[in-house]
Amino acid sequence: MNLEIDRARQAEAGASEAAARDAHRAARDAHRVARDAHRVAVRFLGVDFAHREAEVLKNASFHVHEGEFVALIGPNGSGKTTILRLILGLARPGAGSIEVFGAPPELARGAVGYVPQSMSFDRAFPISVEEVVRMGRLSGTGRDCLKGGCSDVDDALAMADVADLRDRPYAALSGGQRRRVLVARALASRPRLLVLDEPTANMDEDSERRLYAVLGSLKGSTTVIIATHDMDFVSALTDVVLCVNGRGGEEAPGGVTRHASGPVERVSSGHYGGAVLQVLHDTDLPDDARCASCASVDPDPDPAAPPAPHGGER
Amino acid sequence: MSFFSAIFDPAMPFVRNALIAGILSSILFGVLGSVVTVKRIAGLAGAISHAVLGGIGLALYLSAKKIVPGLPPIVGALVFALISAALIGLVSLKAKQREDTVINALWAIGMSLGIVFIAKTPGYADPMSYLFGNILLVSTRDLVMLAVLDIAVIFLAWRYYPQIEASAFDEEFARTRGVSTDAVFLVILGVTAIAVVLLQTYVGIVMVIAMLTLPAGTSGYFARNLAGMMAIGTLFSVAFSVAGLAISWGLDLPSGAIVVLVAGATFLAVSALRAGRKA
């Protein structure tokens, strides 16, 4: 009889311990979700997108934390530019949800700087480098971007290493110089997120090195997403590699897969302006692979709780 | 009597009106013409200007047939201009693959309607004066309307300069900065439609598009930015107008055609000089 009572008491105690553990785990998860939501710069959740009835994205889900340097890779036509356009609010998904800093993309535009892939422009358009960069401070119907003596414009010109070109006609620049001017334009609004579409396409080595030096100076303070069709290597600045599978992808067609990356022994000099990483296509990572690094930064309600599994790419 | 003596002759107010019309038109040619040029919508403006003849013909017909007695041609022109601007704008924004076809269709249908209505209008109506303009027809009311439109265009260009510049330079980037580029485009088309109607009295609907592009195109070689292009384009346009009017007066030739020829010759000469300097 006593044995039975003891067993019953132990069972009761065990149950209450389990319940307490469950409650604690739930509280910790809720805290993580809340903390994660605060730190997430971009979140795609089950996004579908079709262009003229051709499916481009299918159930694409991923998220990017603030301060991360992200390489968005994929073959031509896989949907990289579509993803960037969705982030910028220039296109809307057919299904799923997209958040940029916790808000719909259209409402977060002020926090996002954009460097387009290739900008066809009228060479007869009379405009100086400074005026192009000033355009980056444009907001809706405002005229503030016209005000002279703006430190944001000066800083952006200096950061992108084009301060000495400020009075030159934009049409008179080389392709690499023009690309850096467009980076300066994107930086003029002091964005929290910088989005670049194939920034080094048709760029010479020196321009590429200068561009990546600019991006390196932003690392950690600004979230950077770079789309590139180079499937094998990414800049050593990269924290996260997201591979857009494309419609013909063998795995999760139309989706986005997180890949690991690792050091590489030999690459051609000047590639991405310096050190590079090799994309490890055979090593897929869960979408929360880098959420662990957030846990180490943020205060946790239970310091004794076991650390989240290590999932960083590097 | 020389052109410059005639300007101050009280017996010939139409000459003074012609000069004032030329100067007031120059502001539209310089400012609006620069926007049309950098937005690369000269073709759309051309379609609107030619479709206007349909409205002029319809107004003349309705007035002559006493269906709408006293209906001035300018009202029909305005209605057709705004309708064609709206159609062209919507087609450009929504159905780019059919843009050329629709624009050319509007161009041709508008002109054909105008010719048919004018042919069926009782009495004499000269389509040539509408097609090629007649500066002697410029009235004080026309001058007032031109001045009001000048003020409106200068205000819009000043107030929304960054939006106009950005949407013309890089439309996609402008959208990422919250600029409603579609609205900018439609307003530019609408203002151009109204301007075309008022300016057709001066150089005619066939040649108004030439004056919306030639002074601005010439100034583009000298200007450092869009604002400079507008200012220099206006000065060029004033020079072309005064020179054209003086030459047409002296040689007894159609003023609208001479103004366009002076503008065209200057543009080609500057272009050739620039091309020669580069080579």
pLDDT band of B83, cuts 50, 70, 90: very high
Q: Which DSSP category does A101 fall into? A: T
**Residues A127-152: what's their mean pLDDT?**
84
Contact B166 A128 (CB under 8 A): no
**Structure confidence at residue A103 (pLDDT):** 94
A109 closest CB neighbour out of B166, B168, B176: B176
Neighboring chain B residues of A150 at a CB cutoff of 8 Å: none
> A127 vs B169: CB contact, 8 Å cut-off?
yes
Partners of B169 on chain A (C-beta within 8 Å) are 121, 125, 127, 132, 135
DSSP state of A171: G
Confidence grade of residue A230 (pLDDT, cut at 50, 70, 90): confident
Alpha carbon distances (Å) from A276 to A213, A230, B2: 13, 12, 78
Tokens found for residue B216: 């601005």
Asked whether the ipTM of the predicted complex exceeds the cut of 0.90, the reply is no
Is residue A169 predicted with pLDDT exceeding 80? yes
The pLDDT tens digits for B151-181 are 999 999 999 999 999 999 999 999 999 999 9
Least confident window among A272-281, B189-198, B243-252: A272-281
CB distance B32 to B195 below 8 Å: yes
pLDDT at res. A51: 82
> Residue A103 corresponds to which amino acid?
A
Question: What CATH number is given to the structural domain containing A198?
Answer: 3.40.50.300
Q: Considering CB atoms only, which of B178, B179, B228 is closest to A126? A: B228
pLDDT over 50 at A309, yes or no: no
Structural domains in chain A (count):
1
**Of B161, B169, B175, Cβ closest to residue A125:** B169
| Pairwise CA distance, residues B226 & B216, whole Å | 10
Higher pLDDT, A8 or B156: B156
Greatest mean pLDDT among A12-21, A87-96, B193-202: A87-96
CA distance linking residue B195 with residue B208, whole number of Å: 9
The confidence score (pLDDT) of residue B255 equals: 87
pLDDT of residue A300: 40
Mean pLDDT of B78-93: 92
* Residue A311 pLDDT exceeds 60: no
Mean pLDDT for A86-109 is 94
CB atoms A109 and B177 under 8 Å: yes
B176 and A136: CB-CB below 8 Å?
A: no
Q: Which residues of A touch B162 (CB under 8 A)?
A: 135, 138, 142-143, 145-146
Crossing angle for the helix pair B99-120 and B73-94, to the nearest 10 degrees: 160
Work out the mean pLDDT of chain B and round it to a whole number.
Answer: 91
Report pLDDT for A30. Answer: 56
Listed as own residue / partner, the contacts of A288-294 with beta carbons closer than 8 Å and 24 or more positions apart are: A289/A258, A289/A313, A290/A65, A290/A68, A290/A239, A290/A240, A291/A32, A291/A36, A291/A65, A293/A65, A294/A35, A294/A36, A294/A39, A294/A65
Q: Does residue A287 sit within a domain? A: yes
Point out the least confidently predicted range of A4-13, B103-112, B139-148, B155-164: A4-13
What confidence tier does A263 reach under pLDDT thresholds 50, 70, 90?
A: confident
* Nearest CB to B173; choose among A89, A114, A143: A114
Burial B102-132 (b: 16+ CB within 10 A, else e): bbeebbeebbebbeebbeebeeebebeebbb
B130 versus B208: the higher-pLDDT residue is B208
Q: And the tokens for B27?
A: 């502001």
Residues making up chain A, counted from first to last: 314
* A118 close to B (CB below 8 A): no
Q: What is the pLDDT of residue A266?
A: 62
Cβ density class A135-148: b for 16+ within 10 Å, e for less:
bbbbbeeeeebeee
Q: Measure the CA–CA gap between B126 and B252, rounded to whole angstroms.
A: 20
User: Which tokens hold the place of A147?
Assistant: 């005000």
- Considering only CB atoms, which chain B residues are within 8 Å of A124? 217, 220
Of A119, A126, A135, the CB nearest to B166: A135
- Cβ of A52 under 8 Å from any chain B Cβ? no
* Beta strands A276-285 and A233-235, pairing class: antiparallel
B212 neighbors B33 (Cβ within 8 angstroms)? yes
Burial class (CB within 10 angstroms; exposed 0-12, middle 13-18, buried 19+) of A46? middle
Assess whether pLDDT exceeds 50 at residue A308: no
Euclidean distance between CA atoms A223 and A68, whole angstroms: 5
How many angstroms separate the CA of residue B197 from the nearest CA in chain A?
Answer: 27
Tell which wins on pLDDT, A151 or B152. B152
B208-220 burial: b if 16+ Cβ within 10 Å, else e: bbbbbbbbbbbbb
Q: Is the Cβ–Cβ distance between A207 and A216 less than 8 Å?
A: no
φ/ψ bin of A242: left (φ > 0), alpha (ψ from -120 to 50), beta (otherwise) = beta
d(CA B270, CA A254): 53
Asked if residue A82 belongs to a domain, the reply is: yes
How far apart are the C-alpha atoms of B16 and B14, rounded to whole Å?
A: 5
Triad A121, A122, A128: Cα angle to 5° = 85
The 10s digit of each residue's pLDDT in A56-74 is 898 899 999 999 999 999 8
Two tokens at A290?
Answer: 């880098």
Determine the Cα–Cα distance for residues B138 and A213; give it in Å rounded to an integer: 63
Per-residue model confidence as pLDDT tens digits over A23-41: 666 666 555 545 554 589 9
User: Which residue is closest to B161 within chain A, CA to CA?
Assistant: A143
Hey, are the CB atoms on A126 and B224 less than 8 Å from each other? yes
pLDDT class for A281, splitting at 50, 70, 90?
confident
Place of tokens 């062209």: B88
Of A227-231, B116-120, B205-209, B264-268, which has the strongest mean pLDDT?
B264-268
pLDDT (tens digit per residue) in B32-43: 999 999 999 998
- As given in the structure block, the two tokens for residue B186 are 């439609």
Whether A250 shows a pLDDT value over 60: the answer reads yes
Return the number of other C-beta atoms located less than 10 Å from residue B199's C-beta.
Answer: 29
Mean pLDDT of all residues belonging to chain A:
79
Closest CA to B36 of B247, B202, B219, B176: B219
A vs B: CB pairs below 8 A: 77
Reduced to 3 states (helix: H, G, I; strand: E, B; else coil), residue A64 is strand
For residue A296, name the pLDDT band (cuts at 50, 70, 90): very low
DSSP state of A91: S
Nearest Cβ partner for B176 among A88, A131, A169: A88
- Domain limits at A226? 43-122+192-296
Q: Nearest chain B residue to A127 by CA: give it.
A: B225
Maximum distance among all Cα pairs of chain B, rounded to whole angstroms: 63
Helix B181-203, helix B255-278: angle, nearest 10: 120
* Residue A10 neighbours by CB distance under 10 Å: 10
- Which whole number is the average pLDDT over B147-154? 97
Given CB atoms, is A141 within the 8 Å cutoff of chain B? yes
When pLDDT is averaged across residues B34-55 and rounded to a whole number, the result is 92
Does A304 score more than 60 pLDDT? Answer: no
Instruction: Please check whether residue A211 lies inside any domain of the structure.
Output: yes
Residue type, A23: A
Rounded average pLDDT over A173-180: 89
Is residue A278 in a domain?
yes
CA distances, A121 to each of A127, B61, B119, B277 (Å)? 11, 46, 45, 23
CA-wise closest residue to A170 among A117, A132, A116: A132
Contact B225 A126 (CB under 8 A): yes
Residues of A with CB below 8 A from B172's CB? 90, 116
Residue B224: pLDDT band with limits 50, 70, 90: very high
Contact indicator for A247, A231 with CB cutoff of 8 Å = no
Task: Give the H/E segment covering residue A44.
Answer: strand A40-51
- What's the confidence (pLDDT) of residue A313? 41
Q: What is the pLDDT of residue A312?
A: 40
Q: What is the mean pLDDT of residues A301-312?
A: 36
Cβ of B169 and A121 within 8 Å?
A: yes
Distance (Å, rounded) from C-alpha A127 to C-alpha A118?
A: 18
In a mutagenesis test of the A interface, which of B36, B39, B177 is the best target, namely the one with the most A β-carbons within 10 Å? B177
Measure in Å the smallest separation between the Cα of A141 and chain B Cα atoms: 7
pLDDT range class, residue A314, cuts 50, 70, 90: very low
A52 part of a folded domain = yes
Instruction: Please report the pLDDT score of residue B183 as a whole number.
Output: 96
pLDDT at A18 over 70: no
Chain A, residues 166-195, CB within 8 A of chain B, namely 169, 185, 189
d(CA B229, CA B226): 5
Question: Is residue A115 predicted with pLDDT exceeding 90?
Answer: yes
Residues of chain A with pLDDT > 90: what percent?
Answer: 37
Selected for mutation to probe chain B from A82, A122, A193 (highest B CB count within 10 Å) is A122
